[in-house]
Structure formats: C-alpha cells, structure tokens
Amino acid sequence: MHSRHRDDDDEQLDEQPTKFVDIAKKWPKQTFLIIGNELCERFSFYGMRAVLTLYFVNVLHFKNAHATVFFHAFTVVSYSSPILGSILADGYIGKFWTIFSVSILYAIGQILLASASIAPDDNPIHPWLDMLGLLIIGIGTGGIKPCVSAFGGDQFPAHYTKMISYFFSMFYFSINAGSLISMYLTPYLRSVPCFGNDSCYPMAFGVPAILMILATLIFMAGSFWYKKVPPKENVISRVMATISRALKNKSSGIPRSHWIEHSLDGHVCSKSKVCRELHGKCAERKFVEDVKVLFRVCLMMLPVPMFWALYDQQGSTWVIQAISMDAHITDSWTLIPDQMGFLNAFMILLMIPIFQSGIYPFVEKIGIKLTLLRKMTAGGLLTATAFIICGIVQLFVNRDLPILPSADEAHMTIINTFPTCEFHTEINTVDSFLLPANQTKLKDVIEPAIIKGGIEFTANITFDSDAPNCPKFVANPVLYSGYSYYLALSPIGWAYTATPLKKPSNGQGEFAISLNYMVSCDNIPDAVTWKECNSSTSTYNGVIGLCKVDELTRPEAPCDPKSDGRFYQFSPSRRHQLEVHDYQTGEITNTGATYDAIDVRPGTYRLYYIDYEIDYVHNARPSAEQTRFYPLDLPPITQNHMGGVYTLTIATRSKLDVVSYSQIMVPYNKVSIIWQIPQYIVLTAGEVLFSVTGLEFAYSEASPQLKSVVQAVWLFTVAVGDLIDVVILSLNLFSDVATQMFVFGAAMYIVMAIFILLAVNYYEYAHYANDDSEAANAIVDTDKIQ
C-alpha cells in the first residue's frame, strides 16, 4: 500500500522529458519490441488477406460470388472478435497474457492455412482445413487488435504525453509499413510458380505465417521488462450491465426522462464505493449520462457499416473485376490484380497530410465551415461515387466476358476444318447461315448459334454444300440447356463436346486453351513409340505438352516438365473421349479426345507428344532427361494477350497430313487495369473524409471513460458492414458486377441522405473537457485508417 503511494509520488516528481536526449534516455526500450510485433503481425494479416479471394477462386474453386461471400465472412469474424479480446484483457487475464496466448492461436491458424495450400486442389482436406485456419486467424487477429496499442501505452507514465504521442506515431507507421509492404509483395510471392503449379500460395501464406511466429517471439522477448497493468473492470461489460439493468427496471413505473436512467432505480450512493470516493457526487449517474451520449454517437454511426460494406469490397469484388482486365502496363511490366489494393494503402498516407494541410484550410478559407459531420457526409458521397465509377468501368469489362446460355437454351460454336468445303447450315429449320472453309479465327469471337430446348434435347443441324467431294449430312447432337458446345467438322467425321467458357482467374496474364484431338492412330508418327492404340479407329491417349519457344529453349531438351511457367501439359487425367461420327450414317466410326482447358502464360509455344519414363507425381515432375518428346508438325501457338479463351482443333486431311485450327471462344481482356485507378483515388479520398473523420468524431464525442467502448463499437461496425455483404451477396441478386456496383452505390447515397437529416435535425455536439490522464491512455485504432 505504502509502496504504491511512493511509486505514485515518484511518478509525479518525475517531470516529463521534452528534449530529444532526455526522451531517448527515458524511453521504455521494450516498446520497440511492441512496434516490431505490430509490424510483423500487420504484414501477416494483410499479406494473407491480399491473396485470399484468388485462393478461394483458383484453389478451392469457389465461384466468384461464393469467394466474395467467404472473404467478407472472414472479415466479419476478424472484426467481431475484438470485443472478446477486450473483455478477456480488461476483465480477466490482462493485456499481456491476452496478446501472448491469442498470438499463439493466431500463428497456428496461419500455419494451418499455409499447410492446406500445399495440398493438391482435389485433396479432401479442402476446404475444411482452410476454413479452420481462417476461423482461427479471424479470432486471433481480432483478439489482439484492441490490446497491443493499449499495452504499448501502458509502458509510459501517464503524464509522459509527448513521448506517448511519439510512440503512437511510430506505432501507426508500423501498421502502415506492414500493410504496404505485404500488399505489394505477397501477390508477387503468389505469382511465382512452385510445386508444379503456376501460382505459389504456399509461399504467399507461408511467409505471413513465419512473420506471425516472428511477431509472437518478438513480443515475448520483452516479457521481463514489460509493465503489466493488472486487469480491472471491463467498461464494455459495465455498459452492457447498465443497459440490461435499465431494460429490466423499465417497467418499474418511476418516471425518467430517458429509458437508460432506469438503471439508477434502486441505486444508493452511500452503498457505492466509487460514489463515496467522490464526496457527494454520484458516479453512477455520471456514467449513465455518458451512456446516453454514447447512444447518440452510436445513432450517428448507423451509416458507418454501409461504408464498410462498400469499402471492403475492394478486397473481393474489385479484385475479381481486375482479373478480367488487361494488366499489361508496358511490354515488360504487368500488374497483378490482387496488387491493386496497394494503391489504397499507399494513397491514404499521401492524402491524409494533403487534406489536413491543404484541402481543409482552403475550404475553410473560402468560407465553408468544416464540421466533423460535414466531412463524413462528403466522404460517404465520394465512396458511393467510387462505386458508380467502378460500375461504369465494369460495363466496358463486360464486353470481354463470355456469353453464357440461359436456362432454356444451349450455345453451339461450329468449326469447319475442311480446306475447301463451305456449308449452308440450318439449325432446327430456324437459323441458317454460311459456314466458311478452313476456319481459323483468333481476333474475333465466332458467334455461337443459340438453340432453344428443354433440359435435355436433340438438335437438328443440316449441313449442305455445293462443292464437289464435300459431304451433305444432318448432325443430331444431344444437348443440355445452360451449356455451351463446340462442334467440329473434319475429313474423318464430325464431333461435338461441351466447352466451359471460363476465363483464366490466376491473375498472371494467362490465356486459356483447350484441345480437341481428332487424329487416328494410323496418322501418328512411328517415332511416337509410346502411343497406346487399340485399333486404327482409336487415337493417342497420352500426354501432349505445350512447350515455350524462346531464346532460353534448349534444342536438345525443348520440353522441361520441371520448368514452371514454360511447360504445360494436356493430361490424360483431364482427357475425355471424343466420338467422331460418320457423315453418311451418323454412326461412331472413330474416337478422338478432348482435353480440358489449361491456363497458359503469354508467349510462343509448340506442341509435343510427351512420355514420362518414370511415374509422374503432381508435385514432383520428371526432369527433361527423364522425358521423351516428339514434336507435332504444326505451326507454333503465339498468344500475347491475357484473358482470352481459345480452342485448338487438331485433325487430319490425309495420311500423316495433320493440321490445326485455332478459334477464340471468349475475347481477351481489352480494358486496361489502369482504369481502376480513378475508383481507388475517389474511394481513398472518401476514406480520409469518412473513416478518419468518423473515428475522430466518435472518439471526441464520447466521454473519457467510454472511449474504449467507442473503439469496440467502431470495430464492430466493420463486422456489421461485411455482414451486410455476406447477406446480400448470398442472395445472388445481381446478374453481373456492374449491377452490383450501381446498387451498392445507390444504397450509400440513400444512407447518406438519412445521415444528413440526422446531422441537421437531431445531433448536438457533446463538450467534454480534456482529461490529460485519459488522453494519455486513449488509444485510437489505426487499423482501419488505411
């Protein structure tokens, strides 16, 4: 007891240092460990989150809408759990043990996610281990969020306000440095080929996992030097107890001016230790008055969740939009779609000082008074405008997206590989058109025929030709509504197959190409001794490789299966039998093969028959020396555009006369990713005005003892905003991204109109006197000011 008073007296006698030398001498050195911990943790979180949407799409094979929903669901967990962390730290085990124990949990989640990403896509651990890891990460990052900054403030004497201000500037810098570096670097780590794949999610998740382990070790290194303030009454719990008591006593019949005042029913100051210490002043009444002001502040925060519902879509919907855009900036520089979020993190650091020292003074100078609510209004309107801009950009992007059949129709693309035969074509006696000969088309999409029908139906397609030695026949393919098909005519017969029109989604400049192989075994070179043919009517059923041709190609080994990004294969495991029908009888006389589409990076490639002399394992391909290869005598395939979907048909004209025909099924991406920059600029300006100002408003309007509650409420608005995204996007209400952007933008305009009415007609600013001791320990969460 006496020792504690002595410590307090010493602290009062210890004057606050103001000179740099004195500050350096008295600076608590353990706080550098806290700053280092925050830098590593923010790198870990934002690095993992930057590539999360593409991981859902490309590894877990979620549809775009489902990937968006799960991304926002993860954010809901991450910003709901801070309340639990706050209660645990302030009411039970203290900030130190909360940070330590939850950090271990956090690191385990990152390790689980990184481990899951190593497994092949078809491994049964997906998506269960991934989701478990993300759940643990969400709880971990939220659990320590309200504790780290406050724990850093605890290391200083309360009256060292200048040093505390320096600390939080350094702390804020560490947050932004961690997020900036990770949001720029992690997409590059993801884009590096590894484990036989074009992307390296194990590295993209592994590095953040290592950084989180490092963050925990750095934090624990200062364990013996930290000032560990014991837990006290949790203010959030006290507010909830006050509300609960007021609701319970509301029916007591005692007249009150506000329902929250019913929490005072039965309160006797003489029995309250806190009230007795204030010598006649009622502490509980003061607290209830503060809660009443808190409710007013919370009411004005009602539009904040809608802001986050829009803002956080830059990590999901905007990334998906970027995948469908042209990321080539120059011949040697290509942006990565999930790297665009770096713009927001970078521009927020530029815009905050520009607004504070330039724009705000200028606006005040021309006679417009800038209150906090006016700034928030402008920010909300700018945020809505950013989504309108995004929707307009998406309208142009939509021109390059595949045209998908509706539920009562099938689409049929017909390709003619005959060198001299033109066909007059009629489908179901309704649509007729001329089908040209020798059809290769790489610039314009061949318009598919739209065939109406039931769930399953047989089409009637008549082909007629006036040229000699050209067949006249009727094809009767069995089709299913909602699917796209590809029908090829070759000298050995006609064949058709379903064709998925999925654009590449890895975001690394790829184009997609599928292969229809209609060459019988008799026409395969004898040098391909590994061919497995049961009869002359069957076809090659092995691997066909796509090998890059450039100055790095070795003549003695043009195909190296270990060379990720330079070697791709049409694998038998993704090969389907292609039935070739005779023109006269319609009977199946030959079999070909169709290989599923693969995503290929831009460049020039040649096709090879491939044979592995050892067993092939997904993550351990044979070397070039363990591979036999023989080239197909066909022209090279050159494609330098990204996002297009192509079909390559290989057929025979005569004995050993093998030819190829390439068709573009879906256009390549023509809208430059640079057109996303305006929406990022407007959104970031909206963030400065709305988010930064909104946190300032909520923090300054709350009483000193309820500032931690305001921080918790602010973080919770992020969770509510992302929950709005989860609910709305789960309903699958939007036909395309453009409609989604316009609806969210319009909703934000409506919300801001309501906000303006509340600001004008309802809210009155509170006026709290500055409390230096409280201000010294007041911690503003900077995590959402980026």
Residue 349, Ramachandran bin (φ over 0: left; ψ between -120 and 50: alpha; else beta)? alpha
Q: Chain-centre distance of CA 184, in angstroms?
A: 14
DSSP state of 303: T
Q: Which residues are paired to 705 by β-bridges?
A: none
For residues 415 and 393, state if they share a domain: no
The domain containing residue 210 runs over which residues? 26-232
For residues 479 and 584, state if they share a domain: yes
pLDDT in tens, 324-351: 999 988 877 888 899 998 999 899 889 9
**Strand, coil or helix: what is 690?**
helix
Q: What is the rounded average pLDDT for all residues in the chain?
A: 86
For residues 520 and 430, state if they share a domain: yes
Q: Which of 649, 666, 683 is the last residue in one of the domains?
A: 666
For residues 422 and 525, state if they share a domain: yes
pLDDT in tens, 515-551: 999 888 888 888 888 776 656 667 887 889 999 999 8
Do the beta carbons of residue 620 and residue 550 sit within 8 Å? Answer: no
252 within a domain of the structure (yes/no): no
Degrees, nearest 5: CA angle 99-34-699: 80
604 within a domain of the structure (yes/no): yes
pLDDT score recorded for residue 162: 82
For residues 590 and 679, state if they share a domain: no
For residues 393 and 430, state if they share a domain: no
- Of 765, 780, 766, 778, nearest to 704 by C-alpha is 778
pLDDT score recorded for residue 183: 93
For residues 455 and 315, state if they share a domain: no
**Strand, coil or helix: what is 574?**
helix
pLDDT score recorded for residue 137: 97
Handedness of CA 750, 754, 760, 766 (dihedral sign): negative
For residues 598 and 707, state if they share a domain: no
pLDDT score recorded for residue 655: 60
pLDDT score recorded for residue 13: 54
- Kindly tell me the number of DSSP H helices and DSSP E strands found in the chain: 23, 20
Instruction: Report the C-alpha gap between 586 and 580 in whole angstroms.
Output: 9
pLDDT score recorded for residue 773: 40
- Identify the CATH number of the domain in which residue 396 sits: 1.20.1250.20
pLDDT score recorded for residue 15: 78
pLDDT score recorded for residue 527: 86
Q: What are the φ and ψ backbone dihedral angles of 680, each rounded to 5 degrees?
A: -70, -40
For residues 742 and 603, state if they share a domain: no
Indicate the pTM of the whole model: 0.87
490 within a domain of the structure (yes/no): yes
538 within a domain of the structure (yes/no): yes
Q: Which of 666, 686, 714 is the last residue in one of the domains?
A: 666
For residues 636 and 743, state if they share a domain: no
Q: Which of 666, 697, 732 is the last residue in one of the domains?
A: 666
For residues 639 and 697, state if they share a domain: no
Do the beta carbons of residue 145 and residue 82 sit within 8 Å? Answer: yes
Do the beta carbons of residue 447 and residue 427 sit within 8 Å? Answer: no
Which residues have C-beta within 8 Å of that of residue 405, sequence separation ≥ 6?
A: 411, 450, 481, 482, 483, 484
121 within a domain of the structure (yes/no): yes
Which two tokens mark 448?
Answer: 């598919």
DSSP state of 449: E
Residues of the chain with pLDDT under 70: 1-13, 268, 270-281, 429-430, 439-444, 532-537, 617-619, 654-656, 763-786
283 within a domain of the structure (yes/no): no
190 within a domain of the structure (yes/no): yes
Q: Which residues are paired to 650 by β-bridges?
A: 517, 660
pLDDT score recorded for residue 289: 81
pLDDT score recorded for residue 257: 78
Q: How many domains does the chain have?
A: 3
36 within a domain of the structure (yes/no): yes
Burial of 304 by CB count in 10 Å (0-12 exposed, 13-18 middle, 19+ buried)?
A: buried
Angle between helices 707-730 and 283-300 (to 10 degrees): 30
For residues 377 and 452, state if they share a domain: no
Please name the amino acid found at residue 60.
Answer: L
Neighbours of 241 (CB within 10 A): 13
